Each structure stands twice: as structure tokens, then as C-alpha cells.
Structure 1
Amino acid sequence: MTVPVPKLDDLTWADLMSAVTRRIPAESDGAWTLHAPVDPGITLLELFAYLLEQRLYWLDQAPDELVVAILKLLGLEPPRPARPAATVLALTTESPEPAEVPAGTVFARDPAAAIRFTLDDDVTVFPVSGEVTVETDRDRTADLLARRGVPLLSTDGSPASARFTLPLAGADTTSGWLSLLFELDSPVPPSWSRLAVSGVRPPAELTWSWFRPSGDASGAFEEVQDGTGGLRRSGVVRLRPPAGWTTMHSGLLVSTPAATYASPPLLLRLAVNVSGARHVETRTVTDLADQTDDWLKLPGQRLVLPDAADRLLTACLKLAGERWESVADFAFGTSRDRIFLLDRHDGALVFGDGLTGRIPRPGGDAVVEYTIGGGRGGNGGVTDNWLPVSAAAPVRAANLVQAEGGEDPETVARARDRAAGALGEVTRAVTAEDFVTLAVTTPGVAVGRAYAAVGEHPGFPCARVPGAVTVHIVPSVPSGSAPEPDPGMLCAVAGRLAEARLLTAEVFVRAPAYRDVRLRVDLAGTPADRTRVSTVVGDALRRFLDPLVGGDDGTGWPFGEALRPSALLRAAQQALGDLADVTAVAIGIDGTEPAETCDDVPLRAGELPVAREVRTHVVAVVEAGEGLL
């Protein structure tokens, strides 16, 4: 429930005059008898009512400076500046030798275009010939080329590995980086996104090594920068080969001693010679004497930057040997603070008035390092015609993923609306619903559902412990009847709840509690295709009991809800349609044989069912009157 916005300007001039004229007889003790507009006293009252109405109107207005100041007092972010879009550029070269492209190189579709992207990292561009091949339990190259999703590693905790052959041409030795894009089918934001979270423990401990496809050499990389977080999300992986490594050693092995993933990472694309890129461009200007020499010792001085109108993002100023800092507003500045504002529209730096923000002295040498770009204009699709703005290397580029994340500057009105929503966000874990909300929204991991068991303590399974809360989490996975969270996910959720809990609360994060269920579905009649009927029934009931997409509303089977034979029968019949008639559904728990019953089969609080077996049994149709004496 939101608090209604108070309206202070709720009295009109007519309301004020009506209220005051009714009080004239009593206040004047009957001495004031003429209340017409021609009376000078009435004229004065009309004037005062007019002035008071204007004050009430002003009182009801909140200027932008006041809104920004209130946001700061509340600890909320002020109006956000423009944000740059991000993508991944894959570089190619026509030279037979590897090309070194440094970080900060600017690419554009047209050298004169305003939309320019800058590389985040150094890239060693190897000549490429052919396609990437991938092998897990078998050759999966065809699936990778068709983007069908290649499951790389298992989820049973056993050792696992995946082998790749990179299409590197030539036999050149290099001391640069081998940069690879691993695009995965994952709901976690990729490494190049501004929503990406660092510091999350990987789901499994990975080892990256190289080998020669002929099998006569192998070894480890000197340094690994894994942007995928252990294949948890899409990202750029940078590998530094050892001395003597050549492009002939183009095999890549990813292995783990224990594959503890919630679900196998699904690889959609693997590309070489890549780097993250953002819609920003850094520039430095020193020739600003024509502006600083004309300054007067007056408020509101401005420093207009070249080619920054409608594009200015950030700026760092050094004026007369002193550093000045950019701020969101002057509300909390003093007369001695060397601060300035960014005017994106005009591409200028705006200085204070001497009370809130120091007035700069004229004639000083100014050095400004600033960035331009950002905004929604940087968002776009996939293209392959990117060229370096400066012809420092014979390379071309293509953005492999859609450029996203670019936003225009936030208005004060939008910042106020955002702040209103932020005040309603759950930041402290007090109730069971708070624990669930915080667990599901843990950044950096994909938690599908959660259940908070108040009083449950892993060390005392048979007692209710005051102050203890055990949160069971279900990972969000594309498939799997009983998904288990990986260790990194458990640590991430536990860390967030530990920061949000009350001082006296003891919080534990565990995997879901599953109960094995066996079902037998009795069908009437003689289906023409028993295999198809059995498959349809099995898929329908497994989906109905699924912890993520099951239940009547499709949001997952409710924690601890009893198994209702009538609901299972209805789900099976809806899936079959006219193929067969379902007469009964028998349920067995924990390995027992399914038994037909009309009563609900209970589950303990917080438990989820897992359909381990679904059998169909065809029974003969009983004709009318048959079996009667």
C-alpha cells in the first residue's frame, strides 16, 4: 500500500473569501455592516486572500533541487546520467600474422558516425580458418552451429570435461591473450552487462588447458580471466598462453573434478578474437584558453567542450593545477568546494555561484578529460561492418550480440517515481516472505523459488528452534525434475540473507527437500497407440508436479501441498483429450507401490514431489449391466 501524496494547494480564492466574510460579524461585534466589494475592508481582504492563494500554490510545488536533495537524504540514487550500451565485438584480420589491437580502440560503422564503441580489453587477433568444433560425450559441432544448445558438463558431481578445437590459422607464437566468447543459455546477466555481478562463487571449479589436436602436446595457461563465472553466465574468457605456445596448439580443454552445476551449461556460441565494447569514447582537450580568459568573477561560469553536445557522459577537470570534481547537483556544496555539473545537452561544465560551489578564477590553464556517448542511440542489432576509426591495425569487427543497456539521462520525475518504488523494496529479512523475496532476487545467480522454514535448524531436525530460519531454494533451470542448487548459489544467497537478517536470527540456506513419487494411471478402453498415450500421460504429470512450472497456476508445485488424486486425474485427462479416458490415479511415496485412494497424500512442510515413475495401466471397459445379478 502506498501513502497518498498530500495536496497542500486545496483552497481557492473564493473559498478563502467565503470563510473570512462569514467571520466578519462575530469578529467585529456587529460594527462592520457593509460587506460589499465597494467597502475598502473587503478590498483588503480580497488582496490578502489573493496573496495567500499564491503562497499555497508555491507551497505545493517541489522544485527539482529539493527532490534531488531529498533523494540524497534518503540514501537513494539521484537522477541517473545517460548510460552506454554494451556489446561484444569479434575482430578479424586479413593479414597472415596476428594483429595486436589495444584496449581503447574505437570502432564505428562509419568513421564519421556518432555511434562509436570502444574496446574494453586488448585483443590479439589471430587469423581464422574454419569453424569451432566441440566434443563432450560425442561430437556436438553440428548442434553448436545450429545454436541448439550443447550441454557441456554434467550435474552429478562427477569429473567432467569438454574439448574444443579453435579455428586458428598459421603456426605463429604470440605473447598476447587468447580471447573467447562463451554465449550460454542462462538467465544470469552476461559479463559485459552493467547488471553483471562479480564475486559470486563459481558453480564448479574449472581448469582451462590447451592441447594440440594431434595429441603430442598439452599444458596449462599462464593466466585465466573467466568472465563466465565458471560457465554460470555468458561472458568473455581471456587466456594467456605460455611461452612457446603457437596457433598449432589450438585445442582447448575445460575440465572439473566435480561438476556440481544445477543444470548443464548450454553453449550456444563460441567465438574467438573478441572483447567487450561500450558506446563511449574518451577525449582530452587542453586548448580552452579562449573561454577561461573571458571568464568574470561571477556565478554561472561555463566551459563548453568540443563535440560533446547531447553526448557528454563524464568529465575530469584540472584547472590551474587544481582538480575539480563532478557532482549531481550543488545542493550540498560549500563555497570552497571545487565542483561542477555536467550539462549533457550543451556539452558543457557548469560551475557554482560562490555559495554552493566555488567560482573558478579566470585565466587558468584547463585540462579536461571527458567521455562522450551513451543513450538509447547505442542500442542496436547485430552487424558486421565495424571499422577502426584510426587505421592503426588492419582489422574489421562484428558485434556478435545485440548492443543493449543504453539509456538516456533520467529526468527528476522518473527519479522520483523510481525512488517511490525503491522505498517499497525489501531490504531487511523480518518475515518469512522477506526471506523468500531476498533469496529469489539475489543478484548474480538464478533462483527460481524459495521456501522459508521458520524454526527449522539443521542441527536439531526434530525440534523447533526459536530464531532459526532455514531457506530452501530451487534453482531456475531450463529442465530437470529435481534441480539442486550449486555451492556458489547457496553461498550467494546465504551471504545476502546474512546481511539482511535481524541480529538475533540464525539463517541457513539449503537445497529443496524432495519426496520421490510413483504414479500409476488407469486408462479405460483400448488406445490405438499405447506408447504415445503413455508418453503423453508421463510428460503431463511430470510437468504438473514440476517444482518450477507445475501446479494449477504453472508457477511450481506449492511447497508442502498434498498430492490430490483428483487433481492428478484432471491433469492427465486434459493432456490426453480424446486419446483415452482416465479412470483412476494411484500414488506411491518413497518407493512404495502406487495405491489407489480417494484421500490426499500428505507431504511434510516445505517438501516438493518428484515423479520418479509414471506407469499406465489399461483396464477393460465395463458394459452397462455387466457383473450384475
Structure 2
Amino acid sequence: MLPRIPLDDRTFENIVQESRRGIPRRLPEWTDENAHDPGITFVELFAWLSEMQQYYLSRVPERNVRKFLELLGIFPREAAQAEADVTFGNVREPVTLPAGTKLQAEDQVFETTEAVKLLPLEIERIVTRTEKETSDRSASNERGNVAFYAFGREAEADSRLYIAFDREVEAGESLSLYVKLADGEETKAGGIIPSARVSWKAYGWDEENGNSWLPLELVEDGTLHLTSSGRIAFRVVSPMRPVIVHPAADRPRYWICCILEEAGYELPPRIDQVLLNTARLRQRDTKSEQMTFDGTGLADQELEADSLLARCGKLRVQVRQSDGRWREWREVPDFALADAGSEVYVVERESGSGGASRVRFGDGVRGAIPGEGAGNVRRIHCSEDFAELRWIGRSNGLPHQKLRLYDLPVKRRDGLRLQVGVPEGKDGRLVWEDWEPVSDFDRSGPLDRHYRFDPATGELTFGNDERGAIPALAAEPNLCVTVCEFGGGERGNIKPGLLNRWVMEEQDVLLLTADNLDYGFGGAEAETLEECVERARTQWQVPYCAVTDEDYVRIAMDTPGLKVSRVHVIPNYAPGRERPADGAVTVVVVPKGLSETPVPSAGFLATVAKHLDDRRLITTEVHVVAPDYVKVTVHAVVVVEPHFMEEGHRIVAALNRLLAPLDKPGGIQGWPFGRTVHKGDIYGAISQVKGVAYVQDLWLDAEGTAVRKSAGGDLELPETAIVYSGAHRVELISSAQL
């Protein structure tokens, strides 16, 4: 008997009872709910049909469920590789760590995602300067446990952040800093438009300006002008000069400076740490990689690569033929014995065995020249311990071939790429075909070189010559892995201080130290089918297209990279036009900020507008605007019990809670947009305060755009406005005096 997989846990009785409970609400005129009533008979009939439908749907096989999800554009997520920021120390001379440099935390291997340039520098002092004060933040930065404002709480223009180094950075040298902010993770969204603008300068010398603050050449700004954590890289253009910056006045130092040129932060940046020689590492162990180059068709073409495997691994070089297959060329020590047709190359290294490697081809007389073409030359590197494992078997030429890769614990489909060798010519020399991974063979034709790899089981499957081609028969192993990456899962979210051991002994001679100051993040196990179905159900409820007011609110609140506090939608309204404006929608957004009345910057509004523009109906005109704040001041004469004469502050606190523009902890909701401030609301708030007998007199004052006072003393607000409290004036009178 097939096991039951319940898609819905409701039984026949549950459905009947649920339907009967809804009768009084939907059809109050239906009063006879006894079994003899025909309506009850129909309820039971449809309950039985529903239960039978659930019964059959619960027997949908897993393959069909996956197909249904695919029709919705949803696929189970693969294992995610964790990331961690590592700071290197004991740098005695400039060192470049190639991409793929490996560190180990217990049994988890992490790699650098790009080349890392380390300089023998240390940050000695950090100073922040605003118009009001100058502060030394060196101790906070060194410990990393007390965040500080880069430009003060107000973050006004011309505020400065100074960073001093213990030695000069030579002119022409590149320098990178990792800035870790206290207010959130690194921004991944590319659509953020920052309003604040910073510039970076160093104190140095040039012929035109002499000794002065001179611009640095900005190479990369992953912080988006200090709006998120990230890496900043720049190049020193002019020779640096030591200078004294107060309050670090004990001796001259080499300083760089970040200047806030234009204000515009909703939340002023708070820095946890500014770090030197810090890189982002990913939890993976690359055993084989391939790099593709364009053939120039010229003599003595060179292919230069600098990665860990390019330095220390085994090398294969392939050139693509006119039929799309790849022919492997042979390495020789030099071209002395090569003729014009010899498919050979020479490997040269920059600085011994530890430098970048360069592949050089012949000149057409001594060694052949690869043809001209886009991406028709390839370098394949693999580690020494993977040299034998890359040969996973040979094809028997039969359909539905399956291999179980026990020795390759690959957790992601894109972590494995294959080539299949095809015997060619009289000597049976193998030429290589690239095969592509697919999730299934449903869309594969008989000539498509596709394979299916399941990371959960490690099973590799080929087609049957109708759905996917069959690998060519060979007498020797002809199935070769060209790309192989291990790694992924929750265990990569390591604790601080674990990522400190080099994997390869060749890197120990550098005597560098390494340490991850924070936890690893982002690692996750592969999603099960049940988890994917649950995610699909949840996603189905999340609006993508903005149609209703609720859709606009939800989408604007979820703008990537922004912290939005409140959103209000006004349909059929456009700023500056008389209502109604058919087809227009105005969205009022309130950012999160330190003040009671945060105002969105131009970049904030533009970012929300861009996010909504991608999701609006094509005929809808969307406007994103800032709120209009109206300051409301309450003047009240309140009669209280005699022993509450000193409790006027409680009345003021109640008014502040009522007239709050933003939601606050404890279930306090902000004042609704555009709602009239009635005197009755104020009477009610004051009357609820303990000790209040009654309100003897009350009047309201308001300051703001387009606010109007009615004849009864109420404050009428425009739809884009919300209120905030002014300095309320409350006069208390003891009831014993009346």
C-alpha cells in the first residue's frame, strides 16, 4: 500500500463542521441545519468530494511535484557556501595572495574569491571631526566593541573621518580598507542611489599645491559612500607627508581623510571597525578550475593566470577546433625541437615556482599558433591530489549511463563540469567535448550534450540518444572533470577566531597570521522538496506586481538596501494636480532615522521609485514623495485629583504617544496619514490618564504645510501629512479648589 502524504490534514468531519460554522455568517436566513435539510446534504457531498480530491493529490509523485514547482519558476535551493571576513597580520613586506588562497577552520576550507594585496601597514589613530567637536576613536576601532559615528550624529556636510598609518604608503601603491558598519550587513542590491557623497584625500605633496590634502584615486567603493559595510580601494597618487591632526598631536603621522561633501544620510553611518589587510573568503575547496582566453592568431601569444591552482597545480591547455571540439596541446621545456605544426606550449613563471604562470605559444616556425577566436583557448588547473580523481570513468556507449561519484562530495550542481573525450584519427587521440548540466532531460534532444548531476546522491546520469546524447565509446577513461568545487552547508557559519590555519605548506613560509573576527554567515543546507513547497506557498502570498494599495505598501517596505519605517498610498492623486488624477498613484515613504521626523533624501526617494517602477502596471503613473510633517501643540487646562498635582508630565507623555509620527515599541502606532486631529481625540487621551477628573479647556495649534483649522478647532491635514508633538502646555487645577 502506498504511504499517505497528506497535503491537507482536514478530514471529512472537519470540512463539514467548518462549513456549518460559516452558515450563520454567510447566510443568516438559513436556520435549519438538521440532517434532513437538502443544503446539509450538499455540504456533506462537497466535503466528501474535497476529501477524495485531497486523497488523490496526496499521491502525486515527487517528480510531478518538482514539475509543478518548475512551472511556477521555483526550484529547490542548493547548499549555500558561507562567507567570512579574515584579517591578515604580521605583514612584513608587500604580498599578493592569489585568488583561491586556502585557509582552514577545523575541517572547513575557505578560499579567497579574488587576489588580495597585503601591505606592511597598521592603523595607528582614527579621529572624527565635526563642526561641534573632535574626538579620538582609536580605542573604539582597535577593540571593535563600541561603534562610533563617522561624521557625528547629525552627519553635516564637511564633517571628516581621519585615519593615520604607521608608515607612508608609496605613491602609485594601491590601498584597501574594509569598513564594517554597526547598522547592518553589506548591501547586495545594485539599485541603491545614495544621496550622501564622500571624497577621500591623503595629506601629501605635489608641485601645484605643495603640502596639502590631495585626492586619492578611488578604485572601488563597496560601501556606497559609507551607507553599508564593504571594501574601499584607492590608489595613492602623490607622495604622502606626515602631519599633526588634533587631538593626535603627539607626533606627525601619515593620514588619509574621508570628507562628507554632501549630506543626505537617513541614518548617519556608525562604524564598528576600519580594518586593513582584510579579505572576504568563501567556504569552498576548488580542486579544478578552467580559464578561457581569446585567441589572437598572432605569434608568441601569452596566457597569464595567477590563482593558487595556477601557481601550484597541474596544467592542461586546450585549443578549440573549427568543429567546436577541444584539442589538448602538449607542454615542452622550450621550442628548440618544435616545428611549424607542433601543438606545444611553454610555461614560464614570474618569480620562481611561487609566482604567476604564463603559457606561451609558438611563432608559426617553432611551434604552432592557435587560431583567432573568442574564448577558443583554455587553461585547466587542478590540484595535485585531484589529478587522478578527475578521471571518473569511461563511456560504454550505451543509453542511460550512470556513475556514482563517491570520491567527489560536490554539493552544488555548478560545482561540477565535465568533458567527454572522443577518439579521433587513426591513432585514436582524444578530442574533448564540453557537456552541460541540466536538471532533467525533458527538453534535451538527441544531439544535446547534457548530463544530470544530483548533489544529494552524487549520481551522474547521461541521456539515451532521444533525450540527451550518449557519450562516445572509448577504450580508455574519457570522462574528465574540468571544474570541481567542494563546500557548502550550515557548518560553514564558523565561530570567530577559527579561520587561522593555512592549508598549503607553501604559504606557511610567509609567516602571516590570519583571523576571522566575526562569525561566518550565509551557509545553508540544500533545501528539501517539502521546504521548497512551503517556501512556494509563502512566496505566493508575497506581491510582486503593484496593483492594490496593500501591494504598494508591501513592495515599498521591502525595497532592497533601504530601511523604511512607514508607507502611505494615495490612489488617483499626483502632486501638484487637482484631484482626481486618474491612473496616478502617490506613495509617501518615511525612512528610519534618529530624529522624530525623519525625512527621506532624494536618493532614498529615487531608489523606492525605481523599485516600484519595475513592478507597477504599465498604465500606472507612480510618484514617490516625502511626508509633510505638522507640529501639533496642545494647550489644556485639566482638573485633577489633589494628590496628582505634580503629575503633569504623565499627561504630556500621553499626548506624545498619541501624536507620534512613527510606530514605537509596545504596540504604539503612528498617527494615520491625513487624519484630522479632532479635539475629541485629545480629550480622550487626557481623560485616560490616572488622576484626571476632566478637561476644563482645550485648544490646538499647528505648524506645517497646508494644515487648516476648522471652525470647531480641529486640525485638518492633507493626505501626505502626519503629525508630531510640539511643546505641549498643560495647566493643572486641583479639584479641591473648585
Into which bin does the TM-score normalised by the smaller protein fall?
Answer: 0.7 to 0.9
Aligned partners of 1:584 and 1:280: how far apart in 2? Answer: 72
The alignment status of 1:92 with 2:89, answered yes or no, reads yes
**Residue in 2 that maps onto 1:371:** 485
Which letter does structure 2 place at the counterpart of 1:381? K
Task: Answer whether contact 1:123 1:274 (CA < 8 A) is retained.
Answer: no
User: What's the offset of the Cα at 1:108?
Assistant: 1.5
Give the alignment partner of residue 267 of structure 2, picking from 256, 263, 266: 263
What aligned pairs does 1:307-386 form with structure 2 within 5 A after superposition? 307-308=408-409, 314-320=415-421, 321-347=432-458, 349-361=460-472, 362=474, 363-364=477-478, 366-383=480-497, 386=500
Of 577-586 and 218-227, more deviation after overlay is shown by 577-586
Name the one with the larger strand percent: 2
Task: Answer whether contact 1:309 1:346 (CA < 8 A) is retained.
Answer: no
What aligned pairs does 1:111-510 form with structure 2 within 5 A after superposition? 113-128=107-122, 130=124, 132-136=126-130, 137-139=133-135, 141=137, 147-153=145-151, 159-166=157-164, 168-171=165-168, 173=170, 177-187=174-184, 189-191=185-187, 196-211=188-203, 216-242=211-237, 244=239, 250-284=254-288, 285=382, 287=388, 291-293=392-394, 295-302=396-403, 304=405, 306-308=407-409, 314-320=415-421, 321-347=432-458, 349-361=460-472, 362=474, 363-364=477-478, 366-383=480-497, 386-390=500-504, 391-392=506-507, 393-460=510-577, 462-477=578-593, 479-510=594-625
3-state SS in 2 of match to 1:160: coil
From the superposition, tell whether residues 310 and 149 of structure 1 become closer, same or farther in structure 2 (CA, over 3 Å).
Answer: closer
Task: Answer whether contact 1:490 1:510 (CA < 8 A) is retained.
Answer: yes
User: What's the offset of the Cα at 1:250?
Assistant: 4.1
Q: Deviations over 1:290-321 (max 9, x none)?
A: 64236452413226274526687622223222
Aligned partners of 2:614 and 2:129: how far apart in 1? Answer: 42
Task: Answer whether contact 1:516 1:591 (CA < 8 A) is retained.
Answer: yes
Q: Deviations over 1:68-108 (max 9, x none)?
A: 2222322x231111111122212212x43233323321211
Q: Deviations over 1:547-583 (max 9, x none)?
A: 3325993243222233355655776798x97999998
Of 286-295 and 510-519, more deviation after overlay is shown by 286-295
RMSD: 4.2
Which letter does structure 2 place at the counterpart of 1:548? L
User: What's the offset of the Cα at 1:425?
Assistant: 2.0
Give the alignment partner of residue 83 of structure 1, picking from 68, 80, 90: 80
Task: Answer whether contact 1:520 1:614 (CA < 8 A) is retained.
Answer: no
Which letter does structure 2 place at the counterpart of 1:589? A
**Residue in 2 that maps onto 1:33:** none
3-state SS in 2 of match to 1:402: coil
Which letter does structure 2 place at the counterpart of 1:302? L
3-state SS in 1 of match to 2:551: helix
From the superposition, tell whether residues 57 and 528 of structure 1 become closer, same or farther in structure 2 (CA, over 3 Å).
Answer: closer
Task: Answer whether contact 1:470 1:510 (CA < 8 A) is retained.
Answer: yes
**Residue in 2 that maps onto 1:614:** 727
Task: Answer whether contact 1:544 1:551 (CA < 8 A) is retained.
Answer: no
Of 285-294 and 176-185, more deviation after overlay is shown by 285-294
Q: Deviations over 1:439-475 (max 9, x none)?
A: 1111122222211111211231x33211111111111
Task: Answer whether contact 2:129 2:159 (CA < 8 A) is retained.
Answer: no
From the superposition, tell whether residues 591 and 5 of structure 1 become closer, same or farther in structure 2 (CA, over 3 Å).
Answer: closer
Which letter does structure 2 place at the counterpart of 1:452? V
User: What's the offset of the Cα at 1:588?
Assistant: 1.3
**Residue in 2 that maps onto 1:101:** 97
Aligned partners of 1:172 and 1:591: how far apart in 2? Answer: 53
Task: Answer whether contact 2:102 2:502 (CA < 8 A) is retained.
Answer: yes
Q: Deviations over 1:170-217 (max 9, x none)?
A: 345375542222222335x414xxxx212321232221222369x944
From the superposition, tell whether residues 58 and 228 of structure 1 become closer, same or farther in structure 2 (CA, over 3 Å).
Answer: same
What aligned pairs does 1:562-601 form with structure 2 within 5 A after superposition? 562-563=676-677, 586-590=699-703, 601=715
Aligned partners of 2:189 and 2:590: how far apart in 1? Answer: 20
From the superposition, tell whether residues 463 and 443 of structure 1 become closer, same or farther in structure 2 (CA, over 3 Å).
Answer: same
3-state SS in 2 of match to 1:623: helix
User: What's the offset of the Cα at 1:376?
Assistant: 0.7
Q: Deviations over 1:462-494 (max 9, x none)?
A: 3321111111111123x2111111222211211
User: What's the offset of the Cα at 1:138?
Assistant: 1.9
Which letter does structure 2 place at the counterpart of 1:371? E
From the superposition, tell whether residues 551 and 60 of structure 1 become closer, same or farther in structure 2 (CA, over 3 Å).
Answer: closer
User: What's the offset of the Cα at 1:5?
Assistant: 6.3
**Residue in 2 that maps onto 1:69:** 67
Aligned partners of 2:480 and 2:408: how far apart in 1? Answer: 17
User: What's the offset of the Cα at 1:289?
Assistant: 7.6
Which letter does structure 1 place at the counterpart of 2:149? P
From the superposition, tell whether residues 80 and 616 of structure 1 become closer, same or farther in structure 2 (CA, over 3 Å).
Answer: same
Q: Deviations over 1:319-343 (max 9, x none)?
A: 2222222223333333322222333
Aligned partners of 1:547 and 1:313: how far apart in 2? Answer: 49
Which letter does structure 1 place at the counterpart of 2:403? R
Aligned partners of 2:583 and 2:628: how far apart in 1? Answer: 21
- Name the % identity: 25
User: What's the offset of the Cα at 1:261?
Assistant: 1.7
User: What's the offset of the Cα at 1:506?
Assistant: 1.1
Aligned partners of 2:390 and 2:104: how far apart in 1? Answer: 31
3-state SS in 2 of match to 1:491: helix
Aligned partners of 1:541 and 1:295: how far apart in 2? Answer: 83
Alignment size in residue pairs:
561
Unaligned runs of 5+ in 1: 11-53
Q: Deviations over 1:191-250 (max 9, x none)?
A: 4xxxx212321232221222369x944322223311112222222222232364589974
3-state SS in 2 of match to 1:493: helix
Task: Answer whether contact 1:302 1:351 (CA < 8 A) is retained.
Answer: no
Aligned partners of 1:622 and 1:249: how far apart in 2? Answer: 70
Task: Answer whether contact 2:420 2:433 (CA < 8 A) is retained.
Answer: yes
From the superposition, tell whether residues 165 and 394 of structure 1 become closer, same or farther in structure 2 (CA, over 3 Å).
Answer: same
Which letter does structure 2 place at the counterpart of 1:227? G
Aligned partners of 1:397 and 1:521: how far apart in 2? Answer: 65
Aligned partners of 1:522 and 1:143: how far apart in 2? Answer: 50
3-state SS in 1 of match to 2:662: coil
Which letter does structure 2 place at the counterpart of 1:378? G
Which letter does structure 1 place at the counterpart of 2:198? L
Which letter does structure 2 place at the counterpart of 1:190? E
